[in-house]
Chain A
């Protein structure tokens, strides 16, 4: 198996102006390391503002990174300029699918032109373009394609638009795709359709996918591995079944507990909820960033930042009390 993309200690800081002269540093990503393999989906989950979307964009070099390295199939692309990324075909090999099915398609362009644009940019021939566009539309089940190429985005439903988005991402034959909350803005009854489509295309095209979501339940069906992020850092990451069945980090445990399930028995229970709100990323807590909301935090958590350590096979956790939690001597709930 081949590693498609690898992020090494990637940091992304923003300079936020506040007041007359003062400026603060917003640490959107504070040292993230992860890698994605061919035919694999990595889900990144977390609350809004945890840096998961930034992570996706940085990995594609749509945003510059402050420090760290990004390797695409072994090649360091973290310092490349935009022109170089295009000329060396990296832009062909990495794509993104967006959350909003409405603002992600240029309303002035026909579906055919939207899907063809990437090919035009990379200098494909006319005949080739038409053929590729039709094949991509067929792949995302917008059939027959000739019926869709001349339509405008506003003539399509949310689900159909999202499929156009996927088609546009696919035409260049990418090896790495970032899917940024691809189903959060479409109706519940059509979500599964898009997710399953994404999964089957990933398999047939042998891509690596970074699936960004706030909804852990959807991650379960598409991702082989999960990374849980909190305030710009990875709190826990591992194989999906492992993380979901034996979550170790208190944040993961509580996050999983917050997710509602359609069970009528629930109304007699109170869900285990994380107290308070996430702290401002402009002024993150010292030590373990989760200690302010953690029910099992100890003094050490306040001062010392926990390292991401492998506690189970391919299952990493950044928590000082991971071992106690695993042994059951400390209970989060």
Chain B
């Protein structure tokens, strides 16, 4: 089996005052070993919830309604939380959470925060753990002495590097990166992305890269999964989805909305606003904003149609 991770029929809902918010609604995909998959979507598309579900870090008002997440063939959602944390979390699958500052404890030295899982979950001695943490700090391009720094003494870019070092300290095979650069300037963003690329190669990581920025996704991903309104609307190789042939109108319009440095195209926009996931529109969730909408879109929810080699799109345009 070549899949590092398989997600099947995952549904995650939030309980809110307005009723259930269907943040992730029947999502399935696989991640091959050594592969980078980018999950792209606007705010409210469910992409972050998906990431949190994979590493079982959902807020308390969220519940997994159905679905499976297989890692090495084992359904990790069926494990109790303590088992999952002991056997998979950070050892097999780790995550770089959104917002580096919030991921770090303000009153502990960053080095300690990197080293802790080695001591408490990896059986390493303090000395070993420190040495390893310092190696990791060096690996992400910071001096070893940064072990003794506190988060507030670091710049945003440095904190992001520390958080990345922290995620890799237990040698995980799968790494989820949730908007790792969204708060950074482009110059620092470029540094971090270069670093991430190096690390992916060096550790042969399987990566899930969550971002709202299609351009950034193209920087890292072998495959692109576009999410809209809690659902996968298109999934395929980066070359196909971003290159010649986006098959879902949303992907097409999203790509067209990106301002580019080169070329003659003028960016377009998608009118309307993303669906309210407490009461999504009937039929295709994109239909109120879709330029190609026809009557079937308003009535029936489209399934994922195969539109090419390993390429699917949720759109009636590709129906029979």
Chain A: residues with CB nearer than 8 A to chain B?
47-48, 157, 159, 187-193, 195-196, 214-218, 220-221, 244, 254-264, 266-267, 270-275, 277
Q: What are 25 contact pairs spanning A and B, CB under 8 A?
A: A47-B185, A188-B213, A189-B270, A191-B259, A191-B269, A192-B259, A192-B266, A196-B269, A220-B261, A221-B259, A244-B261, A255-B186, A255-B187, A258-B186, A259-B261, A260-B189, A260-B193, A261-B262, A262-B242, A264-B237, A264-B239, A267-B220, A271-B190, A274-B191, A277-B158
Q: Is the CB of A267 within 8 A of B221?
A: yes
Interface centre among B190, B266, B270 (most CB of A within 10 A): B190
Residues from chain B with Cβ under 8 Å of A264 in the complex: 218, 237-239, 242-243
B116 contacts A by Cβ under 8 Å: no
Contacts A261-B261, A270-B197, A273-B190 given: A190-B270 contact, CB under 8 Å?
A: yes
Residues from chain B with Cβ under 8 Å of A191 in the complex: 257, 259, 267, 269
Interface centre among A218, A221, A254, A258 (most CB of B within 10 A): A258
A190 to B262, CA, bound (A): 21
- Shortest A262–chain B CB gap in Å is 5
Q: Is the CB of B42 within 8 A of A271?
A: no
Residues from chain B with Cβ under 8 Å of A48 in the complex: 185
Q: Is the CB of B242 within 8 A of A277?
A: no
A187 to B309, CA, bound (A): 31
Of chain A, the residue at the smallest CB distance from B200 is A267
A267 to B212, CA, bound (A): 17
- Shortest B249–chain A CB gap in Å is 12
Chain B: residues with CB nearer than 8 A to chain A?
36, 42-43, 155, 157-158, 185-191, 193-194, 197, 212-222, 237-239, 242-243, 253-255, 257-262, 266-271, 273-274
Q: What are the 3 A-B residue pairs with the smallest beta carbon separation, nearest first?
A: A260-B215, A264-B238, A192-B267
A221 to B259, CA, bound (A): 8
| B215, B218, B254: the one within 8 Å of A189 (CB) | B254
Label chain A's interface by main secondary structure.
Answer: helix
Given contacts A192-B268, A221-B267, 15 further A-B contacts (CB under 8 A): A47-B186, A187-B42, A188-B213, A189-B253, A189-B257, A189-B269, A191-B257, A192-B257, A192-B266, A192-B269, A196-B266, A196-B269, A263-B218, A267-B197, A273-B187
Residues from chain B with Cβ under 8 Å of A188 in the complex: 42, 212-214, 254, 257-258
Residues from chain B with Cβ under 8 Å of A217 in the complex: 258-261
Residues from chain B with Cβ under 8 Å of A157 in the complex: 273
Residues from chain B with Cβ under 8 Å of A263 in the complex: 218, 242-243
Q: Is the CB of B187 within 8 A of A258?
A: yes
A48 to B187, CA, bound (A): 10
A275 to B141, CA, bound (A): 11
Residues from chain B with Cβ under 8 Å of A221 in the complex: 259, 266-267
Residues from chain B with Cβ under 8 Å of A258 in the complex: 186-187, 189-190
Q: Is the CB of B194 within 8 A of A270?
A: yes
Contacts A192-B268, A221-B267 given: A187-B190 contact, CB under 8 Å?
A: no
Q: Is the CB of B186 within 8 A of A214?
A: yes
A124 to B155, CA, bound (A): 49
Residues from chain A with Cβ under 8 Å of B222 in the complex: 267
Q: Is the CB of B259 within 8 A of A260?
A: no
- Shortest A102–chain B CB gap in Å is 13
- Shortest B190–chain A CB gap in Å is 4
- Shortest B265–chain A CB gap in Å is 10
Interface centre among A255, A258, A266 (most CB of B within 10 A): A266
Interface centre among B212, B266, B269 (most CB of A within 10 A): B269
- Shortest A138–chain B CB gap in Å is 17
Q: Is the CB of B157 within 8 A of A273?
A: no
Of chain A, the residue at the smallest CB distance from B243 is A264
- Shortest A36–chain B CB gap in Å is 21
Residues from chain B with Cβ under 8 Å of A192 in the complex: 257, 259, 266-269
| A159, A255, A266, A275: the one within 8 Å of B218 (CB) | A266
Of chain B, the residue at the smallest CB distance from A245 is B262
Of chain B, the residue at the smallest CB distance from A264 is B238
Of chain A, the residue at the smallest CB distance from B189 is A258
A273 to B197, CA, bound (A): 13
Of chain B, the residue at the smallest CB distance from A197 is B269
Q: Is the CB of A262 within 8 A of B269?
A: no
Q: Is the CB of A267 within 8 A of B36?
A: yes
Q: Is the CB of A254 within 8 A of B187?
A: yes
A231 to B220, CA, bound (A): 31
Of chain A, the residue at the smallest CB distance from B36 is A267
